[in-house]
């Protein structure tokens, strides 16, 4: 039997709706993902456990595969270390990486999970998107809205939110 090679892709998950009057399982899933406020984002890999969590909370979040440039942009502009200070080149060297770009490369290739990097907050506090959301946040992305899976289009949204 030939073994299949599974490539882990980095998914960026952004909370786009509040959870008032949401079902309990959706609220619990958002809490497990550490998404407590709108316009907060996390980076996860595409393992089945996380994909199941995203399906439970798909009405409140949007997600897709991030590019290496988007990961580096999020780390440079919105990355924080424990204590709330910005993520700088010096802080990244203290963590054990050469630069922010080297850390972004490791995260993109799946060698390290962003939320497991010691001394770094797993959450990114983003701005609302410039010129607003293009569609209704209550509809899925495929139906012309904003929530749910959006693939590579997440990179455009993140660039507008950073």
Is 50 exceeded by the pLDDT of residue 1? no
The CATH classification of domain 68-121, taken from the options 1.10.443.10, 1.10.3720.10, 3.30.1330.10, 1.10.15.30: 1.10.15.30
Ordered by start, the domain boundaries in the chain are: 10-67+125-161, 68-121
Q: How far apart are CA 24 and CA 78, in angstroms?
A: 30
- Give the pLDDT band of residue 5 (cuts 50, 70, 90): very low
What does the longest C-alpha to C-alpha distance in the chain come to? Answer: 52
Q: How far apart are CA 159 and CA 162, in angstroms?
A: 5
pLDDT at 136: 87
Q: At 34, list the tokens.
A: 């550490």
pLDDT at 9: 86
Beta bridge partners of 125: 40
Of 78-82, 113-117, 130-134, the range with the lowest mean pLDDT is 113-117
Find how far residue 136's CA is from the centre of its chain.
20
Q: How far apart are CA 49 and CA 103, in angstroms?
A: 24
Q: Are 35 and 61 in contact (CB under 8 A)?
A: yes
CATH topology for 10-67+125-161 is Ribosomal Protein L30; Chain: A, (3.30.1390)
The pLDDT of 4-9, averaged and rounded, is 62
Which strand (E) or helix (H) includes residue 64?
strand 61-65
Beta strands 61-65 and 148-149, pairing class: parallel
Q: How far apart are CA 105 and CA 126, in angstroms?
A: 21
The tens digit of pLDDT for each residue in 11-52 reads 999 999 998 989 999 999 999 999 999 999 999 998 999 999
Predicted model pTM: 0.88
């Amino acid at each position: 039997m030939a073994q299949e090679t599974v490539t882990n892709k980095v998914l960026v998950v952004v909370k786009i709706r509040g959870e008032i009057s949401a079902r309990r399982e959706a609220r619990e899933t958002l809490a497990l993902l550490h998404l407590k406020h709108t316009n907060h984002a996390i980076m996860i890999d595409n393992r089945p456990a996380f994909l199941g969590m995203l399906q439970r909370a798909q009405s409140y979040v949007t997600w897709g595969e991030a590019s290496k440039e988007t990961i580096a942009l999020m780390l440079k502009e919105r990355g924080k270390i424990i204590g709330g200070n910005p993520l700088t080149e010096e802080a990244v060297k203290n963590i054990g990486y050469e630069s922010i770009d080297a850390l972004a490369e490791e995260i993109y290739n799946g060698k390290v999970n962003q939320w497991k990097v010691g001394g770094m907050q797993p959450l990114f506090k983003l701005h609302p998107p410039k010129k607003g959301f293009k569609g209704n946040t209550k509809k899925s992305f495929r139906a012309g809205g904003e929530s749910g899976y959006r693939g590579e289009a997440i990179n455009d949204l993140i660039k507008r939110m950073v």
